[in-house]
Amino acid sequence: MTLFEKIIARQIPADIVYEDDLVLAFRDIKPGAPAHALIVPKKVIPRIADAKPDDAKLLGHLLLKAAEVADKLGVKDSGYRLVINNGPHAGESVPHLHCHILGGRDLAWPPG
């Protein structure tokens, strides 16, 4: 099981900010911004490159709920960034698709 599967199964504690039947969102333990949460699908998809056409509805749901989580984090109006890493060179550390929601400060461009 990945770290995120263990969080979903409540085997590891997390500061959960949103949950429904399809996704779970929780605060990052090493935040890169004042507001930093991860939203993960409960279905295991290792990374976005492994998503299938059947996952389209889930991926859309993930993004729509990411916007709701950003609102819960208080960054809806000031702005926020959504980041999905794919592979080790992109910074992927857990092989379970997840979207970072970052905000609460000015975010530089380009990232990295």
Q: Which residues are catalytic?
A: 98
Strands (E), 31-90: 35-41, 80-83
CB of 74 within 8 A of CB of 43? no
3-class DSSP assignment, residue 45: coil
Reported as half-sphere exposure (CB side, CA atoms, 13 A), residue 70 has a value of: 21
Q: Report the alpha-carbon distance of residue 109 to residue 72 in Å, rounded.
A: 24
Task: Report which of 32, 24, 31, 22 is spatially closest to residue 7, judged by C-alpha positions.
Answer: 24
